[in-house]
Structure 1
Amino acid sequence: MYDQSESDLLRMLADRAGIAVDYYDIAGTQHVTTEETRRAILAAMNLRVSNRDELVAELEAWDDRWWLRGCEPVHVLRVGRSAGTWSLYVPCERSDESDLSVKWTVTAEQGEVQYEQVEGPSLTVEETRMVQGHRFVRVAVAFPQDLPLGYYTLNVQAKGGGTNTEATSRLIVAPERCYIPDQLQQGMRWWGIALQLYSLRSHHNWGVGDFRDLGAVIDWAGKQLGAAVIGLNPLHALKNTKPYHISPYSPTSRLFLNDLYIDVTQVAECGTDVEVQVRLADPSVRARIEAARQSELVDYDAVQSVKREILELCYQAFVRDNFDGVEPALYPTTDRGRSFQDFTEREGESLVRYALFQALEEAHRSSQSPSVVWEDWPEAYRTPTSEEVGAFRRHHMHRVRFFQYLQWLAAEQLRALVTRTHDAGMPIGLYHDFALGSDRYGADGWLNQEVLAFNADCGAPPDAFAPEGQNWGFSPLDPVRLRATGYRYFSALLRNNLRYGGAIRIDHVMALFRLFWIPRGLPPAMGTYVYYHDDELLAILALESVRAQALVIGEDLGTVPDWVRERLGPAGVLSYRVFYFEREHWGGWKPPAHYPAQSLAVATTHDLPTLVGYWEGADIDTRSALGLFPSEEARQAMWAERQREKSGILAALKSDGLLPSWVSDDPVYTPTMTPELVDCIHQYLARSPAWMVLTNLEDMIGTRLQTNLPGTVDQHPNWCRKLSTTVEDLTQDSRPERLAALLRLTRPLV
């Protein structure tokens, strides 16, 4: 059957697996995928491809997989569309299928049978095939109509024709598009503030912005300024150790929260337990907290150390005062104990396994080396389901429960903040950022090995910004294995991240369609795109969005094919538009009217210079100081281009009647980014039809240096720079108040 050359076989298998034949970069240059890249990516997908025989075997297995499995692992129905049919594949040795019948049930998430049907006998056979020497038939079965939104288990049993087989599939019933608030559809236009939570200073925090600080910002932004939304950096769980584990975009887990944001002083045990209070009164502890608070940069290790020390004591008091029994069999005796138990039961095995990883990692760090990752653990502990891991869980349940306690505290404080946004009159409230991936050596990597391609990285192809391409260091999700699991990990990721607010930003939303894979050990230029089942992923996104009543924004920057945006629009996903990049084909700035309505507009992002820094060339100076320019000529060329860009911005503001008469449209005579210019740029965005506009808190207070300098790790203080003013002083700062007043004129809440 497969008599083609090995090269052709390799190409055929790569095509089945979704590996692109070629791609076009942002400049329109075609890149053809090499055989080396194809073979390496297929191997990363756990396919055997080292020789011709293996390729033939994999192709045969691929083509026969549904026939042997019984049905595809996932089926998607869209509300409002015809349900159609699905295919069942059954062995049927006899040529007469007249007695073949199918019994199938549709079971909802809570276990109730939603639909039950018997088809046949005398089913119509759509196709017949010999597979591994046995005769199989394919029959078409009609889906039930009008199933409510949700996930279902499809169980099938086929009898007759010499067979008695069973098969299962995950059935996903999804809306046509993501949730969009009625007010936006009726013409409302909102604005909000974006901030990096860790960067907040206050008179009370312990050296890092925390949930108490965020509560104060909510009251200020919602009640005083009239903002509809507060945009946050990802709040995913981090290891919180420098330099590699402080980026919110490189978490240990995207399923759970960063416990560093817990306001320890709000924890009940902190206020009631004598031992905790004595420890907090210790001068050495007070000195550590004060030193972390006064530090110009977030000292993650110091903050983590002192918070963990006090929370350990809080946990001991919590167990003592709220439970009876002996580990691991503890029984709650108070409402607080029952609240914790309810939380752990709701979160289920997922939280237990996350906490188990935390306990295992802690144990191996102390017994081996702080730099040890889970791939270096003894082999028996590298598999979450091993007997040794089970024994560790039983013997160290007290420690596992401590990490569950931290997640409970974080979740309770964050839920309270969601309520606070409602009380402040904010129609969206908290807007969360969902990172593209997680640390392969973190909790999610250990727990989800079956769906991650560890022998590949994801990144971006070469472009003007990064001529060699980018490697982000994440293991990509394998589209084949992910689908085989019914997308359960993906569903859980969205559900957990959508439950704490009214909007979510999907980092690198193009990954729902295709992702740039780089075989490990090869340069980014040797990578290529791998395609995903985007219709199924978009269906899950729409379902989870509607269930959570949360708006979805897709970060669609960089190399974005037109067809991706054409799919995202009808799916109800907002485009993400950055002022710096919104240009006409001839290079000039787009007028506000040319922004799409279904979008969120921002002046800048965490990976780009602030408005002040952009205007003064702070990013250029920083790159020059770090030796990131190949030559002095390259630096000068970038500065000359920046001057031209500034001229374009001033011209755009003047054209829209926003440039004050006393401000020159020649950047030579406008050398600084004044608060008035900051206001003008945001007014420019506010005049657009974009459904939402966000202003960065750094721009509101005139911050010069940017949050993160891409391409650096420890050469630059990424992800640890604090704001120049405290949360308490923000309420008295005239700059945010003035900008908010201007935005309210264009975008009132009512």
Structure 2
Amino acid sequence: MTNNVLQTLVEMRGIESNYVDAWGKPATIAQSSKAKLLNALGYDTSNDEAVVAQLDTEASQYWQNPLNPVLVTRVSETLQFPLRLPIDLVNDTYTLVLTTESGQQFTQTITPVDTQLINVAELDGVEFQEYVAAFDQTVEPGYHRIALFVEGDEEELAAMRLIMAPDSCFMPEPIKQGKKIWGLSVQLYCVRSETNWGIGDFSDLSRLVKEASANGADFIGLNPIHSLYPANPDACSPYGPSSRRWLNFLYLDVTAIEGYQDADIQALVNDTAFTERLAHARNTEYVDYGAVSALKLEILSALFKKYQKQHLQKSSAQKKAFDAFIEEGGESLNMLAVYDVMQEQLKQEGKPSWGWPVFPQKFSEFHKPDVAKFAKKHAARVTFYQFLQWQAAQQLEAANQVAVDAGMTIGIYRDLAVGVSEGSAEIWGNKDLYCVDASVGAPPDILGPLGQNWGLPPMDPKRLYEQGYQPIIDLFSSNMASAGALRIDHVMALLRLWWVPKGDHARDGGYVYYPVDDLLGILALESHRNQNLVIGEDLGTVPDEIRGKLADNGIYSYRVFFFEQAEDGGFFSPSHYPVQSMSTLTTHDMPTLIGYWHCLDLELGRDLGLYPTEEILSTLYASRHDNKQSILDTLHGHGSVDDSVGRDVEYTGMTEALNFGLQTHMATGSSALLSLQLEDWLQMDKPVNIPGTFDEYPNWKRKLNRNLEDIFTDDKLTGLAGRLTQARRDASTDK
């Protein structure tokens, strides 16, 4: 096959041929990798004829549709769009009908030949022409519809979704006026308390919000709280969920659900065997997801039966509210509940059940007739899993209301994972959208010299467009619920994603581009609708074009102290960070402050074989040594630590004074938001996650080393909170 023919298809589908790597050097995508990426997108690349035929088919589909599936435009832009017709019809007069989501209608007539001609093509001997159609009506932000009619004809010729978006994302007024704030970030499952069942829950979140706000914090940042796998609880990565639209039921506080205090439920939870299992779940160093899941499902099942008999089988207010929740959740909620029941049932029968790829063929896709029969047969259990989602949404909203009542500037901020795992319900319910023969990952970089493969099949950008962007709208909207901000993990995904063909090494992937301007417009619209500030995690190999677009769209950059270095190795003062950013010291993918300072991450990486050569590891050790000295120089130079902290890295270990000094140093900076990990407040040494590992390390399981009830009674920690609050006030420009 000739490279030119393949390259045409490569460019048409947004596959990048060249990019700049993490070291600033030009890199090229191999021809074989590009062919495999096209295969993952559903193309036959075996010969020139097959490629040309597919190009012709797509061109024909484009020209035979008068309107595009969807148009995303901004309120400040002229509302115009392409209109395609055979040449015989371009002299006719047409009516455009714009229907807003509120039901208003506006009409306009158009004769294509009287407008601007922008393109011409010939299909089977027929000439098609493409013109620029314009609509003069001013339209409010929202989801609207434009239909095309032949003048005088009632039959619709074509229709297009119109998404009218604000020019930038929502920003809270205090932030806009220059207020600098700080908050704590936490992996919710890590939280220990005297009352939870071995995993942090939404009641713990409410308490954390209340206590943190009373000590000056303006937000609590969460890990993704997406739905995982009830029947496979050890698949616990929050970044490899089953559905990103719904919540992880394990975060439910079972004791807060109506009926828990009833005698029969109390008899279950006070049973000796149950209390022993509960004690084990609470006392383990790492979250025992299997134990927690078994405990909660046992009692939740019993509670649901009581609730169903008392409320859901009657015409009660609770039934009306639950029915409304189910109706609003629509197919997505029903699909997830059916999936959870099916996985549970297959596991009980001893059949393969880890995900839809191993389900029986008749159950391999949600829309199959046998799945509908299964759902009907197991309707009560399907309703149970819908009930869990309802309760989870209510408990999360209760925590959010605590933040609102406390007057926090942001309150809860949620985290949107970049994808779902291969065996997820989200893919099971929309097979056309996902490319399961590829995975999202990252090319080799400084922290991950082998590259990364995250096992998350990517969305096909063309299918997303053809579906009117509804899947991404649903993701943004649902993850902004009960929150004041949304952090988008790997925000470069809005521009491009590193796709790794199935079975290949991570380094042998390639970048596939997405319709970034459309996605940013939708994000801005949902941001305003949900009153959410948006933070984009823009770490790793980031092209300059996305940073500029993010800033222009009001999205807050992510600035990690350890990555903010000048060419001479010195660390930039936080006072030089962009105002439109959230700064932090560490993240869930990094070592804690103690781990960093004592090189515990490098030791672990060596033991786990993450570094290809001893030379790479030696270079990292040498670089870490130099960086630590530069950090000491920076802290002393800015007066952020006193003389109890040494000036020579050879003799200075991580101490409380150095730890707290780093945190207050960050608080003096110019970033509007400062996020600090609760682990660093507690001076912990073990990381919560080691990128590039699967079962070599207990990722996503390590708990905090202290109970929540003890944290804000510690004078040292409340003193730190007071210093952070004062430093943020001093740095603010709204005084």
TM-score interval, smaller chain: over 0.9
Task: Within 5 Å, give how 1:403-552 maps onto structure 2.
Answer: 403-552=385-534
Q: 606-615 or 729-738: which moved more?
A: 729-738
2-side partners of 1:66 and 1:634: how far apart? 50
Classify the secondary structure of the residue corresponding to 2:43: coil
Classify the secondary structure of the residue corresponding to 2:545: helix
Output the amino acid matched with 1:277: Q
The alignment's TM-score, normalised by the length of structure 1, stands at 0.93
Shift of 1:370: 4.9
1-side partners of 2:613 and 2:542: how far apart? 30
Classify the secondary structure of the residue corresponding to 1:317: helix
Classify the secondary structure of the residue corresponding to 1:191: strand
Classify the secondary structure of the residue corresponding to 1:565: helix
Q: Is the 8 A contact 1:675 1:735 kept in 2?
A: no
Name the counterpart of 1:87.
82
2-side partners of 1:335 and 1:742: how far apart? 48
Shift of 1:641: 2.6
Given the alignment, which residue of 298, 305, 308 partners 1:309?
Answer: 298
2-side partners of 1:338 and 1:165: how far apart? 37
Distance 1:278 1:199, change over 3 A: same
Shift of 1:627: 4.4
Output the amino acid matched with 1:261: Y
Shift of 1:61: 2.3
Name the counterpart of 2:177.
186
2-side partners of 1:106 and 1:69: how far apart? 18
Distance 1:8 1:230, change over 3 A: same
Distance 1:601 1:29, change over 3 A: same
Classify the secondary structure of the residue corresponding to 2:552: coil
Classify the secondary structure of the residue corresponding to 1:303: helix
Q: Is the 8 A contact 1:275 1:313 kept in 2?
A: no
In the alignment, structure 1 residue 662 sits paired with structure 2 residue 644: yes
Name the counterpart of 1:740.
721
Shift of 1:549: 0.7
Name the counterpart of 1:148.
140
Name the counterpart of 2:223.
233
Shift of 1:372: 4.1
Shift of 1:33: 2.2
Distance 1:727 1:124, change over 3 A: closer
Given the alignment, which residue of 251, 264, 289 partners 1:261?
Answer: 251
Output the amino acid matched with 1:136: F
Shift of 1:722: 1.0
Output the amino acid matched with 2:178: G
Query: In percent, how many aligned pairs have the same letter?
Result: 38
Given the alignment, which residue of 123, 130, 154 partners 2:122?
Answer: 130
1-side partners of 2:86 and 2:144: how far apart? 25
Classify the secondary structure of the residue corresponding to 1:275: helix
Output the amino acid matched with 1:312: S
Q: Is the 8 A contact 1:101 1:122 kept in 2?
A: no
Q: Is the 8 A contact 1:241 1:300 kept in 2?
A: no
Superimposed CA distance per residue, residues 553-575 of structure 1 (whole angstroms, 9 cap, x where no aligned partner): 11011111112111111110111
Given the alignment, which residue of 360, 363, 366 partners 2:342?
Answer: 360
Corresponding residue pairs, total:
730
Q: 730-739 or 254-263: which moved more?
A: 730-739
Output the amino acid matched with 2:323: Q
Name the counterpart of 1:116.
107
Q: 456-465 or 540-549: which moved more?
A: 456-465
Q: Is the 8 A contact 1:647 1:666 kept in 2?
A: yes
2-side partners of 1:698 and 1:463: how far apart? 26
Task: Within 5 Å, give how 1:316-327 maps onto structure 2.
Answer: 316-324=305-313
The alignment's TM-score, normalised by the length of structure 2, stands at 0.95
1-side partners of 2:618 and 2:55: how far apart? 54
Q: 706-715 or 173-182: which moved more?
A: 706-715
Name the counterpart of 1:270.
260
Name the counterpart of 2:93.
101
In the alignment, structure 1 residue 16 sits paired with structure 2 residue 9: no
Q: Is the 8 A contact 1:101 1:123 kept in 2?
A: no
1-side partners of 2:29 and 2:616: how far apart? 31
Classify the secondary structure of the residue corresponding to 2:542: coil
Classify the secondary structure of the residue corresponding to 2:278: helix
Name the counterpart of 1:329.
none
Q: Is the 8 A contact 1:596 1:690 kept in 2?
A: yes
In the alignment, structure 1 residue 334 sits paired with structure 2 residue 316: yes
Distance 1:444 1:664, change over 3 A: same
Distance 1:728 1:157, change over 3 A: same
Given the alignment, which residue of 643, 647, 657 partners 2:629?
Answer: 647
2-side partners of 1:159 and 1:299: how far apart? 66
Output the amino acid matched with 1:286: T
Q: 237-246 or 562-571: which moved more?
A: 237-246
Superimposed CA distance per residue, residues 274-317 of structure 1 (whole angstroms, 9 cap, x where no aligned partner): 43222122111111111111111110000000100100111111
Shift of 1:377: 1.8
- Any stretches of 5+ residues in structure 1 without a counterpart? 325-331
Classify the secondary structure of the residue corresponding to 1:406: helix
Name the counterpart of 2:551.
569
Output the amino acid matched with 1:443: A
1-side partners of 2:282 and 2:233: how far apart? 19
Given the alignment, which residue of 276, 284, 299 partners 1:287?
Answer: 276
Shift of 1:264: 0.1
Q: Is the 8 A contact 1:440 1:446 kept in 2?
A: no
2-side partners of 1:123 and 1:249: how far apart? 52
- Any stretches of 5+ residues in structure 2 without a counterpart? none
Superimposed CA distance per residue, residues 670-724 of structure 1 (whole angstroms, 9 cap, x where no aligned partner): 12x2222122112221111100001111111111111111122222121111111
Q: 112-121 or 711-720: which moved more?
A: 112-121
Superimposed CA distance per residue, residues 111-142 of structure 1 (whole angstroms, 9 cap, x where no aligned partner): x2432334349755835543234343434321
Q: Is the 8 A contact 2:60 2:123 kept in 1?
A: yes
2-side partners of 1:592 and 1:113: how far apart? 49
In the alignment, structure 1 residue 176 sits paired with structure 2 residue 176: no
Q: 389-398 or 447-456: which moved more?
A: 389-398
Given the alignment, which residue of 8, 31, 35 partners 1:35?
Answer: 31
Q: Is the 8 A contact 2:645 2:657 kept in 1?
A: no
Shift of 1:524: 1.8
Given the alignment, which residue of 150, 154, 161 partners 1:158?
Answer: 150
1-side partners of 2:368 and 2:479: how far apart? 29
Output the amino acid matched with 1:168: A
Classify the secondary structure of the residue corresponding to 1:521: coil
2-side partners of 1:634 and 1:141: how far apart? 57
Output the amino acid matched with 1:736: L
Superimposed CA distance per residue, residues 77-107 of structure 1 (whole angstroms, 9 cap, x where no aligned partner): 2112222x22222345x4x754x22233223
Given the alignment, which residue of 66, 73, 80 partners 1:70?
Answer: 66
Shift of 1:537: 0.6
Name the counterpart of 1:328.
none
2-side partners of 1:140 and 1:628: how far apart? 54
Output the amino acid matched with 1:72: N
Distance 1:605 1:616, change over 3 A: same
Output the amino acid matched with 2:33: T
Name the counterpart of 2:203.
212
Classify the secondary structure of the residue corresponding to 2:197: coil
Task: Within 5 Å, give how 1:572-611 maps onto structure 2.
Answer: 572-611=554-593
Q: 735-744 or 566-575: which moved more?
A: 735-744
Output the amino acid matched with 1:75: L
Shift of 1:534: 0.6
Name the counterpart of 2:193.
202
Classify the secondary structure of the residue corresponding to 1:341: helix
Q: Is the 8 A contact 1:10 1:35 kept in 2?
A: no
Output the amino acid matched with 2:632: L
Output the amino acid matched with 1:730: I
Shift of 1:391: 1.9
2-side partners of 1:407 and 1:60: how far apart? 46
Shift of 1:165: 6.8
Classify the secondary structure of the residue corresponding to 2:97: strand
Shift of 1:740: 0.7
Output the amino acid matched with 1:79: V
2-side partners of 1:297 and 1:534: how far apart? 39
Task: Within 5 Å, give how 1:628-647 maps onto structure 2.
Answer: 628-630=610-612, 635-647=617-629
2-side partners of 1:391 and 1:624: how far apart? 52
Q: 447-456 or 639-648: which moved more?
A: 639-648
